[in-house]
Chain A
Amino acid sequence: MSAVTAARPSAGRWTALGAGGTVALAFVVVLAAAVAVPWLLAPVSPLAVSPADGFAPPSPAHPFGADESGRDVLVRIVHGARSSVGIGLAATALGAGLGLVIGFASGLGPRWLDSALGRVIEVLFALPTLVLALLLVAVLGSGTGPSVLAIGLATAPGYARILRSRVRTVARGDYVAYARLEGVGRARVLLRHIVPNTLWPLVATATLGIGQAVVWVAALSFLGLGQEPPSPEWGAMLGAGRVYISTAWWMTVFPGLAIVSTATALTVLGRRLSGATA
């Protein structure tokens, strides 16, 4: 319900982030820095091997330990943000963008179009996200592009569903009716009233959607269908480290913590943006 009643927060509302929201925002800022300028945060190559440090446990020299080839896990996590978060971001942009188009076409278009698109959304919901993503990977092959496409297309029905109901609610609103009565044109009503009132909830949903996309992207890599092991993507690191879990736990635990923290921070922020409690 809160997504429906969500209003665009004014600048003063940032104080309403609360303690959890502030921590989440700080984490996202650090994350954005790691995506934008990883070399500034960790001026070492994430691929540089150093056999002498193989399986080095966490220590001041390697705070998160080192992997089987002596590569620093913390350095790899910092550099991996660009692929993990970048692919998640691209997939969310694709999914939310497609959802936007389908949602507007369905919410504002003729009735037959709405019912046809509604049926397509219903059908796509019959396929769980990861099952749909694996189907697409089987079609497209594995790698960065297919990961973006697979997760983007697999989440599109979710966004389309949210936007369709939001567009319909807004379009039936009193202020839209008043605007129409005053003789405001269709295009202007769409741009001035419907789009702004629909986009803010989309931003809130897409924020927490990025967190979920990062988890799914990592899952694809973990399953051997995304990024290949030498790349410092978090899911691929975790998948490679799993083999050594009983002797070198840090290879699995820290990349996983990066994924969990990222997804949690984005979920908390997304919920704050949508005005939901807790």
Chain B
Amino acid sequence: MLPAARWIAARIGRAVLVVWLVATIVFFALRSSGDPLEAILGGPGSQAGPDAVAAARETYGLDAPLAWQYLVQLWRIATLQLGDSYARRQPVEELIAAQLPGTLLLAVLALALAWVLAVAGATIAASSRGRAGRAVNAVIGGTEIVSTVMPQFWLGAVLILVFASTMRWLPATSQPGDTAGLVLPVITLAVPIAGFLAQVSRDALTEADAAPFALTSRARGAGETRVFLRHTLRHAALPALALSGWAFGNLLSGAVVVEVLFARPGLGRLLQEGALARDVPLVIGVVTVVAVLYVAVIIVSDALELAVDPRLRRAKRQSLAVPETAVGS
């Protein structure tokens, strides 16, 4: 087999293992929490009679042994049948399929904006030198820290206050198909990630700028712009690329908040509503889909990294890249 094909096969095998483990953990975590029948029959305190309980138990297959239910659950995930939502009485896979494109659009646009902001910030910081440069660096460093801890539910609310309520330039809510409504959610989602990406890009840029290859290039008479574009910028992109998987996780965490804040339909809001209603199949479905998306993003970003940086091809298995100052995503 070609090395590339073998690499892809190995990665997909590992990805399937991760998704299987996620599905297993989720299944047993939810089952250990109590009887899902309560949620099916209208939440805590519902006055369902014994007949209704027995009927629901049979309809949802909850009368079978736990091990059998677990196998049924795995089979359903493998065949993309995620069962009916308790609260909405609709197939979970249909609910998710309807909301997925909107959330992915939001995430991709936010990631693109975060990259632009991060590279711009790192470039400005790296190209400012001397006394003024130190001041610029301090301001950019401070902005990065504040961005990384900025709660999106607050940043978004302030943006709504300024640009929707006061200036009336942009809508305060975001509906699918409405381009103007995407602006504020995308900015809200991008800012914290831009802060993290800028931190790593700035460090990498400073390091690459002092590296022998940059010095050699300068010694041969290359201008600063050429050195920057041909040499240092590429090195600044690498650590940020390695963080793509982590950034994607952060985007999905953020999507929950942003979709609720901007009343935008999407995967995140589906999860929040599922958690509020303790709608077990819906929550399992969304969490499983998130895990699948995550491993897919990791495979693509690892492949891109190998394509960009041949040195990595000889290295042994890399560990997951996470920003030094983040304890979660």
Contact = CB atoms under 8 A, between A and B. Distances in A.
B198 to A, nearest CB: 11
A114 to B, nearest CB: 12
Contact of A128 (B26, B146, B152, B329): B329
Interface residues of A, number: 64
A117 interface: no
B257 A127 contact: no
Contacts of B295: 126
B173 to A, nearest CB: 12
Interface string B102-145: 00000000000000000000000000000000000110011011
Interface stretch (B58-66, B88-96, B247-255): B247-255
B10 interface: no
Contacts, number: 183
B249 A259 contact: no
Interface residues of B, number: 65
A271 interface: yes
Contact of A260 (B21, B154, B165, B278): B154
B18 interface: yes
A223 B325 contact: no
B257 to A, nearest CB: 6
B329 A125 contact: yes
Given A131-B287, A131-B290, A126 B22 contact: yes
A270 B25 contact: no
A126 B294 contact: yes
B70 interface: no
A245 interface: yes
A138 B30 contact: yes
A19 B153 CA distance: 29
B170 interface: no
Interface string B17-35: 1110110011001101100
Interface in A11-50: 20
Q: Pick the 3 closest A-B CB pairs, nearest first.
A: A256-B154, A129-B328, A263-B149
Interface of B: 17-19, 21-22, 25-26, 29-30, 32-33, 137-138, 141-142, 144-146, 148-154, 157-158, 160-161, 165-166, 246, 249-250, 252-254, 256-257, 260-261, 271-272, 274-276, 278-280, 283, 286-287, 290-291, 294-295, 319-320, 322, 324-329
